Each structure stands twice: as structure tokens, then as C-alpha cells.
Structure 1
């Protein structure tokens, strides 16, 4: 029963804040795909005064990160792009007076990829923001993430920074200023001895 102690402590702390009044009931699920992308879904089963909901993610003992939220008790789904490790997703409800109560949680383990890997962007086609995921398996280095048109001209640079190996990363491309057409996004990883990984994928922009 020792693994249940942290959850028990959290429930006690929640009661100290919210009291015994139940704000509602809910169910939650979290699933990870082969590209390290987590799909989180939730459904409210009862509402006793929920004015707002919040979805949060914990990584071990780290502070919670708010993933999404909204008004009322609204069922939903969201996509998250965390790093390697065990992640706990929590659905919290807030009352009119500001009290918060955890209604449901789900945990998921995000594993490492077998090698350096660049995912297909999502959504694709896109008319605004596009997200890519990549995994660095062999070596850390400076990562450049860029978009090129079909002539090979670079039209956008989204990232140029040092990244550690052994982790999933997410990069966001804002394509709102690009005309409709077919493009290619590319990441290049430059390590100590030169380029250690390079990959590209097609991206369609629609207006």
C-alpha cells in the first residue's frame, strides 16, 4: 500500500482546502502514442456547482503545470507533448467561492524513441500553428528547426538552441504569414563533431 500514500496525502490536503463538500464527479484517461504525444480526455459525471475546470500535469514531485481549462463542467480532450518519464494528469474543479477540488486523475509513462526521430507535424494541413516532435537519442547539440518552400528557400526559423540527448522536444511553427502551398520543415542537430542528425517532412499550408 506504500505507493498509495502520496495520493492519500494529496486527498487529505485537498479536504483541508475545500472541505467535505463535493463539487462533482468525473473520469479521466491519458494515452501516449509511439511519437511520445499524450492524448488526455475527461468527462464530467456530476456537477454540484462547478464554475471552472483545470487540467494539470505533474512530473514526479515537480510543481503542476496547467495544460488547459475552461468554464463550467465541459467534457473535453487535449494533446500534450511532455518529455520522457511518468506524468500524472489531474482534473480539478473550482467553485464560485474559489475552492478547488481534484475530481479525477490519470498517469502515463512516456518512453524514449529507439533512435533520433522527427515526427509528422500536427495538424497537417494547417492554417496557423503547427507542432512537431523530435527525439535526440545519440548526441546533444544545437537544434535548428526551419521551414523551406518548394524552391528550397528558407521562409521561417522556429528554433535554434542547445538540446540535451535522451529527451522528446516540441517545436511550434506559426504559419499564419505563409501563403497556401506545400512546404518542408527540417531539423538539423549540430554536435561537437558536426551534423549528427538531419531530417525533413512535408507541411501543407491552407488559407
Structure 2
């Protein structure tokens, strides 16, 4: 039995890119036990996230990608809880649009293993929604944290700068749909889904294009 559990916090704010701004609700995922956690995507509200963490040690603040709605609270949360911010280096150009004077503390790399509460999470580089987008796969929890790469109903958006539809489809096909069908997909926005529920939609996504 895995030592870690999954907690979800929903925070609200805005997403801005390419001159537009939209209201969004984000899922912040806290993975760990009563003693230590990692935070996946520190969105909008450092106070709320710190409150949800409580007195537990934060081993890392992991960014699935660097769109501003997923990283806007990361530096403040890092300072409050004394944890490093981790980001794939391909997303540094996006990060710098939001935090030009504060770099991430360490890089995420494909195949890297993060450990919290005795549970391993594997970093999967899944570009397309953003160049440095990653998902975290925790087989012991039957869980995938997909950021904005895969949602209930299809792939993440690719209509804005730094995104590319054929690339996200390849990422999903090669890196995510190869996971066990029962894997629960914990998304960056909205409801959870499973790999098995999303796999049949791939032909439709390919036909639809973008």
C-alpha cells in the first residue's frame, strides 16, 4: 500500500497569454502523507495552498508547465514553505513572462523520479500544450497528473503561442495512452478521467485537427 494520498484544492484566478485574459479555476494537487507532500501546480492563491498543506514539509513545488495560471503563486509559496520550484527547462521562456526576476530552483527531466511519502512519481515530458509540459505518473497510486496535456474529453488547447497540435497528440499517444487503462487522470482543470475513457477518442482528435 502506497504511503501517499492525493488531495485536490481548486483555486480561481486568470490566465493571460497573447494579449488575452480569461477567468479560470485550477486544480492544485497535493500528494503525500501526514508528514511530507509535493505540490503540483501552485495556482493563484499561495495562502490557500499553504493552508491546505498545513504543517507538513513541502519537498517540492512541481510545475506541469509555465502558463501563468499554473505558476503565478509558485514563488510566494516557495518562500513561505521553503521548497524548491521545479520546471522543465523548455518552458523557461513562458516562465519568464510571469516571473522575470525569479528563476525556478531546479529542472525537471524526462524519466526523473520524484519521491514523496515513499511513493515514486515519474516525470513524463509531454510537449504540445507548452514546450516543457510534463505529466507525473505514480503507478502505486494508479494516478497520472496531466496538467493541461490531457483532459476529460480530449487534449489540452493548442491555439496559442508555444503550443502545437500534432505534438500534443504524439505526446498523448506515445506517453499517456500506453499507461494502464485504469490509471486515473488528475487534470489541471475540471474533472478527473481515466486513460481507458480517453483512449477511444484519439481517432476523433486526429480527424478534428486544430
TM-score, reference length from structure 1: 0.28
- Structure having the higher Rg: 1
More helix by share: 2
